[in-house]
Amino acid sequence: MEKRELVIIGAGPAGMSAAIYGRRSGLDVLVLEKTKTGGQINITDEIENYPGVAHATGPELGEMLHKHAMKFETEIRMVDDSKVELRGDKKIVVTHKGDETNEIEAEAIIVATGAHFRRLGCAGEAEHIGRGVSFCAVCDAAFCEDLEVAVVGGGNTAVEEGNYLTKFASKVYLIHRRDEFRADRAAIEQVLANPKMEPVYNTVVDEIQDREPEDDDDMRMLNLVLKNVKTGETSNLPVAMVFMFVGQTPDDGCVNGLVEAKKGGWIVTNDHMETSVEGIFAAGDVRDKYLRQVITAASDGAIAAMAASSYINEQVHLRSTLLEPEKVTAFFYSSIDPEQVKLSNAAEVKSKEKGIKTPIIDGYRNARMTEKLGLKDKLPALVELSKGEVKSVKSVSSEADINF
């Protein structure tokens, strides 16, 4: 079976950032991707809010990320799909490419698979994505200066993003299929009080069409064919852009049911991007997080890679000093308890005096290992192990108890 130190699933901004940081940390990195480097930014027409890049198309930024990662000789492998499995203490990534199946054992895994915006499914939508159809007000609001735009949706995101767009657009039509919005009351009141907002109730977008400007000053390039769901009547609405906010779904299939997730599948992590499963990290839009942007995805990737690097180094060290020897006695303590820290220092001194190599293990920092060995509530302690199996545990309350 193929073995790698760090496997990154997804080559979007989070995955590529993780790859760059991982390679610079000296890790053996493999990136798995099923489409194209850059991920979802490849459908973005213009990017102006990524620091240091004043302007670029999505594909251009994706190519920059690819070249940067290749500078460090990152291996990027195209696959049809990936699935993470746990087999005992081993983390296995099963990939498929055509009829070929491959299994990769990884020391650590970073899930950077992103998310996708739900689409309306109306005629003309797919053809206009990145060309008038947007899923991100923060990304594209600046292109709507003094123009009329439409927002589709009725939840908090649609209402809040619509309100945000009024800072740029001359008018924002808020199209909703029901006769009242589903957003919070405060957000709805704010929208209704905004003179730039015009609610369009009981209406769906039936089709998105190209539109020829009527004169040089007419920047409304799209025509939305609207349908009233109660009367069945259709009408036309010319706008410069239309923003879709009918929901977003995480691409969590590779770890679905394996790691802790919020409703909808958003993966729960801590500040180190660690998931509920040891050695599996998550970064970018697939996480349960406040803001989903290229810059926040890249930040997540960097953090995940450094956390994974630390985890891998610790695991390699723990295996060689603690789990693989035929017989070893280790001192376990908690670094957040001052008295235990003093005892750990005493244990280290006594170990050196007797010429014995004694692993000094911070049970707080290596909490998962401590729990796995059943030592969580037994610190500080001298622990005798054989091939990773605990043979005896001796509680330590003073320096007199430290005998090797």
> Where does residue 39 fall: left (phi above 0), alpha (psi -120 to 50 degrees), or beta otherwise?
left
- Write the burial class of residue 100 (CB in 10 Å: 0-12 exposed, 13-18 middle, 19+ buried): exposed
List pLDDT tens digits, range 326-358: 999 999 999 999 999 999 999 999 999 888 889
Helix, strand, or coil (residue 94): strand
Across the range 264-292, mean pLDDT stands at 95
Residue with tokens 């924002």: 172
pLDDT at 48 over 90: no
Which amino acid is residue 76, in one-letter code? I
Q: Is CATH 3.40.190.10 correct for 2-117+248-319?
A: no
Residue 206 binned pLDDT confidence (cut-offs 50, 70, 90): very high
**Which positions are annotated as active-site residues?**
136, 139-140
List pLDDT tens digits, range 281-303: 999 999 999 888 899 999 999 99
Residue spans per domain, the chain: 2-117+248-319, 125-244, 325-401
The C-alpha atoms of residue 370 and residue 373 are separated, in whole angstroms, by 5
Domain 125-244 and domain 325-401, same fold? Reply is no
Give the strands of the sheet with 148-152, arranged side by side. Answer: 133-134, 241-244, 148-152, 171-175, 197-200
- Write the burial class of residue 269 (CB in 10 Å: 0-12 exposed, 13-18 middle, 19+ buried): buried
H/E stretch holding 14 reads helix 13-24
Vertex 92: Cα angle to 318 and 315 (nearest 5): 10
Select the highest-mean-pLDDT range: 100-114, 126-140, 178-192, 214-228. 100-114
pLDDT at 216 over 70: no
The C-alpha atoms of residue 115 and residue 111 are separated, in whole angstroms, by 12
The C-alpha atoms of residue 331 and residue 94 are separated, in whole angstroms, by 38
More confident residue, 369 or 385: 385
Across the range 234-261, mean pLDDT stands at 94
Residue 217 binned pLDDT confidence (cut-offs 50, 70, 90): low
Phi, psi of 63 (to 5 degrees): -70, -35
The C-alpha atoms of residue 56 and residue 48 are separated, in whole angstroms, by 7
Phi, psi of 398 (to 5 degrees): -155, 170
* Superfamily of chain region 125-244: FAD/NAD(P)-binding domain (3.50.50.60)
The C-alpha atoms of residue 177 and residue 185 are separated, in whole angstroms, by 18
DSSP 109-178: EEE---EEE-----BTHHHHBTTTEES-HHHHGGGGTT-EEEEE--SHHHHHHHHHHTTT-SEEEEE-SS
Q: Is CATH 3.40.30.10 correct for 325-401?
A: yes
The C-alpha atoms of residue 105 and residue 82 are separated, in whole angstroms, by 13
